[in-house]
């Protein structure tokens, strides 16, 4: 039902029946037509920044948000900005004593800093930038936003790496060489052509050849996004579509943009501070175990929140018109910590997280109905979802000296350092190290650097230390790192000036576990009237996971649907359909060499308006005809006699353009 406003009876404040709050750009052909006022499903731009009218009665409704991570904070943000809900009516329930969830940043120079993970962003995280262009900046004056600050920084300090891949204790690999044969390139192309529905419960290693999985491309891809070969092929496909426009920046990481500080100080703190100032309530030390639901005629309504507050059991009453947003699962749940001389000790079993874990709420919901998915598919085998990170707090040492030789700028300059992770391709742990802009924490001393290390493979002994990474102390992990950097003979001097804090995370890539349709619940599960699910274990149309963007998207969709706001959360940026990105990606996968058929495109287009969409050819002008004829001969041999006259046909077309 829609409601007229003072703008007239045809200006609704709620969406009409059938309105799609989460449009799917792959669902069908879109075209302009009569009575079609909405833009394409993946449209992003200022026209999508409109502010909807308040939903009738929203001022009397309350919202309970379970989980104070980026998804929960985003739900509060969209309830206020687009939902017009009074901030004082919104309560964030958080298990820990600080907001942020998996996006943490803590510690000090004396005990050592700690960050369990980092965040890589690109230009097309449109929902993330939609939110942070309205969040006040951390350091710029009033009137500037986090987005303003972020872009000013990256526009003036471009990100790139000069040592993306290494081996043999310090040798830099040519990371522009993807190492893919023509047949291995076709493996990727075939995957991108496959329907999503055909990839249920298929793993990466079940599809790709061994040659593909040992290529430089796969080393770049899996280390950048943290894929194991046992993970979901479907998720890999979604990543390839999402980052198609970035493939030619995978090698030097020039496709990425990074913040000035750690993820907590850059994103979580300014967003949470803004919400508090507006009046949003935060309640910490609150663990939610279950939601009470009433069911009638296929409709499910949350009536109560079963939780423990400061160790005491409580039930929070939820009215019929109130809203609940709940985090399902957590990739950093049950993290075990260690330091220089201790080994992290896991408290969960391989197949069972226990009753007092962050998975309990989702498990209890799933027992009520299949519409809530199957959480056991994600937490059921920690051997496939576990990896470990280490945060290094470094004073000057041979490690810092070595870092300087691998960095784009001096590490103490405040500018880009390594430009992202350096991956040691011959590491049994698939070890990675990175140094982001320094200082990484606002209170960090001038002579201190913070480095971050992670290993993806947890079941093999190290190349230098004869233990698996989870069996190692921080000192031993530091020793293994020094080995791969070629400075193991200086380990004592490094240890003397380095503090190490480790984080072993059993579910850190649980969201990548192989899955099928129905394993992840929808943002608003079927029949739910006042419940939205948020986070990394929730189904979206075409987006990926393990990103801030994914969590924010689920929150945005949930708010729009539950309040029936006549506004859409656009599908992912349409860059995957841009012919320029397709051509650049094909050239990059072919290690920068012209792909088969590219010279034909040049001969056809290089005298036309569209010549600029093609990458420059590597040959001198006087050699291009010979190279073109050789390509035509190759295609003719592969495609039969019909292609033998293609060269003369293109020549005639070119004359027509002239």
In this structure, the dihedral spanned by the alpha carbons of residues 173, 175, 176 and 177, taken in order and rounded to 10 degrees, is 60
Q: What is the pLDDT of residue 185?
A: 96
Q: Is the pLDDT of residue 519 over 90?
A: yes
Identify the weakest region by mean pLDDT among 46-50, 104-108, 421-425, 652-656.
652-656
Closest CA relative to residue 72, chosen from 412, 548, 522: 548
Mark whether 480 is an active-site residue: no
Q: How many CA atoms lie within 13 A of 49 on its CB side?
A: 9
Per residue in 257-299, pLDDT (tens digit) is 999 999 999 999 999 999 999 999 999 999 999 999 999 999 9
Q: How far is CA 446 from the centre of its chain?
A: 31
Q: How far apart are CA 402 and CA 399, in angstroms?
A: 5
pLDDT tens digits, 42-79: 999 999 999 999 999 999 999 999 999 999 999 999 99
**Structure confidence at residue 2 as a pLDDT band (50, 70, 90):** very low
Residue 130 phi, psi dihedral angles, 5° rounding? -60, -40
Torsion angle, alpha carbons of 543, 549, 554, 560, to 10: -110
Marked catalytic residue, from 239, 261, 454, 507:
239
The residue from 22, 95, 120, 598 that is catalytic is: 120
Task: From 613, 581, 585, select the one nearest 248 (Cα to Cα).
Answer: 585
Give the mean model confidence (pLDDT) for residues 239-254.
96
Helix (H) / strand (E) element for 632: namely helix 624-639
The structure tokens 């999503």 sit at 196
Distance from the first to the final alpha carbon of the chain: 60
Question: With 50 as the cut, is the pLDDT of residue 504 above it?
Answer: yes
Phi and psi angles of residue 307, each rounded to the nearest 5 degrees, phi first: -150, 175
pLDDT, tens digit (0-9, with 9 covering 90-100), for 156-188: 999 999 999 999 999 999 999 999 999 999 999
Predicted structure pTM score = 0.94
SS3 at position 451 = strand
Q: What is the overall mean pLDDT for the chain?
A: 94
- Strands 171-172, 281-283: parallel, antiparallel or unpaired by DSSP? unpaired
Number of helices and strands (H, E) in the chain? 21, 18
**How far is Cα 653 from Cα 460, in angstroms, rounded to an integer?**
59
pLDDT in tens, 81-97: 999 999 999 999 999 99
**pLDDT for residue 653:** 58
The alpha-helical segments, DSSP class H, found in 359-431 are: 360-368, 376-379, 382-385, 398-406
Q: How many residues does the chain have?
A: 658
Calculate ∠ Cα 447-100-256, nearest 5°: 65
Identify whether the C-beta of residue 429 lies closer than 8 Å to the C-beta of residue 362: no
577 is known as an active-site residue: no
**Residues 327, 72 contacting (CB under 8 angstroms):** yes
Residues near 90 by beta carbon (within 8 Å), at least 6 away in sequence? 62, 63, 65, 76, 79, 80, 275, 280, 281
> For the chain, what is the radius of gyration of the CA atoms?
26
Sign of CA dihedral 117, 123, 124, 125: positive
What's the pLDDT tens digit per position in 356-393? Answer: 889 999 999 999 999 999 999 999 999 999 999 999 99
For residues 583 and 613, the answer to whether their CB atoms sit within 8 Å is yes
pLDDT of residue 627: 84
* Structural contact between residues 337 and 111, judged by C-beta atoms closer than 8 angstroms: no
> What gap in Å lies between CA 582 and CA 587, rounded to an integer?
9
Residues 6+ apart with CB under 8 A from 413: none
Render pLDDT for 314-331 as a digit per residue (tens, 0 to 9): 999 999 999 999 999 999
Q: How far apart are CA 519 and CA 531, in angstroms?
A: 18
Phi and psi at residue 262, to the nearest 5°: -65, 170
Beta carbons within 8 Å of 96's beta carbon, 6+ residues apart? 68, 284, 285
């Amino acid at each position: 039902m829609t409601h007229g406003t003072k703008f007239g009876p045809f200006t609704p404040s709620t969406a009409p029946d059938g309105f799609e709050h989460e449009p799917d750009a792959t669902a069908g052909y879109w075209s302009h037509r009569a009575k079609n006022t909405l833009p394409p499903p993946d449209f992003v731009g200022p026209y999508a920044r409109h502010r909807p009218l308040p939903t009738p009665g929203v001022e009397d409704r309350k919202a309970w948000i379970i989980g104070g991570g980026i998804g929960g904070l985003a739900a509060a943000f969209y309830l206020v900005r687009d939902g017009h809900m009074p901030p004082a009516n919104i309560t964030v329930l958080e298990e820990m004593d600080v907001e942020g969830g998996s996006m943490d940043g803590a510690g000090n120079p004396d005990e050592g800093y700690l960050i369990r993970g980092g965040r890589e962003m690109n230009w097309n995280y449109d929902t993330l930038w939609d939110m942070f262009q309205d969040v006040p900046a951390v350091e710029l004056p009033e009137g500037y936003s986090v987005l303003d600050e972020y872009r000013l920084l990256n526009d003036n300090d471009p990100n790139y790496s000069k040592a993306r891949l290494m081996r043999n204790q310090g040798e830099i690999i040519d990371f522009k060489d993807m190492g893919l044969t023509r047949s291995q390139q076709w493996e990727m192309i075939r995957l991108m052509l496959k329907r999503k529905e055909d990839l249920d419960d298929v793993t990466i290693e079940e599809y790709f050849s061994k040659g593909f999985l040992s290529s430089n491309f796969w080393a770049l891809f899996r280390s950048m996004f943290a894929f194991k070969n046992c993970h979901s092929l479907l998720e890999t496909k979604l990543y390839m579509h999402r980052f198609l426009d970035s493939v030619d920046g995978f090698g030097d990481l020039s496709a990425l943009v990074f913040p000035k500080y750690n993820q907590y100080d850059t994103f979580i703190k300014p967003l949470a501070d803004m919400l508090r100032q507006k009046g949003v309530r935060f309640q910490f030390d609150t663990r939610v175990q279950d939601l009470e639901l009433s069911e009638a005629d296929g409709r499910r309504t949350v009536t109560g929140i079963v939780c423990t507050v400061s160790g005491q059991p409580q039930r929070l009453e939820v009215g019929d018109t109130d809203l609940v947003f709940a985090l399902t699962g957590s990739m950093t749940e049950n993290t075990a910590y260690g330091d220089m001389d201790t080994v992290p000790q896991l408290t969960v079993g391989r197949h069972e997280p226990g009753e007092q874990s962050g998975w309990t709420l989702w498990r209890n919901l799933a027992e009520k109905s299949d519409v809530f998915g199957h959480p056991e598919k994600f937490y059921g085998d920690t051997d496939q979802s576990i990896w470990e990170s280490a945060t290094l707090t470094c004073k000057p040492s041979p490690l810092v000296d070595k870092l300087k030789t691998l960095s784009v700028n001096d590490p103490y300059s405040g500018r880009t350092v390594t430009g992202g992770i350096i991956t040691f391709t011959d590491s049994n742990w698939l070890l990675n190290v990175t140094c982001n802009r320094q200082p990484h924490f606002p209170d960090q001393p001038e002579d201190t650097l913070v480095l971050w290390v992670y290993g993806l493979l947890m079941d093999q002994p190290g190349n230098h230390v004869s233990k698996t990474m989870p069996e190692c102390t921080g000192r031993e992990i530091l020793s293994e790192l020094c080995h791969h950097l070629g400075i193991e003979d200086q380990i004592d001097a490094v240890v003397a000036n380095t503090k190490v804090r480790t984080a072993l995370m059993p579910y850190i890539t649980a969201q990548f576990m192989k899955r099928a349709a129905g394993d992840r619940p929808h943002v608003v599960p079927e029949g739910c009237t006042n419940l939205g699910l948020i986070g990394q274990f929730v189904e979206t149309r075409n987006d990926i996971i393990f990103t801030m963007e994914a969590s924010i998207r689920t929150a945005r969709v949930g708010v729009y649907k539950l309040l029936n706001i006549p506004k859409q959360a656009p599908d992912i940026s349409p860059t995957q359909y841009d012919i320029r990105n397709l051509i650049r990606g094909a050239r990059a996968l072919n290690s920068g060499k012209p792909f088969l058929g590219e010279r034909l495109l040049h001969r056809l287009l290089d005298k036309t308006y569209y010549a600029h969409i093609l990458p420059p050819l590597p040959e001198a002008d006087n050699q291009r005809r010979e190279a073109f004829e050789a390509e035509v001969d190759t295609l003719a041999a592969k495609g039969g006699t019909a292609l033998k006259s293609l060269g003369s046909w293109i020549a005639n077309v070119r004359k027509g353009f002239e």
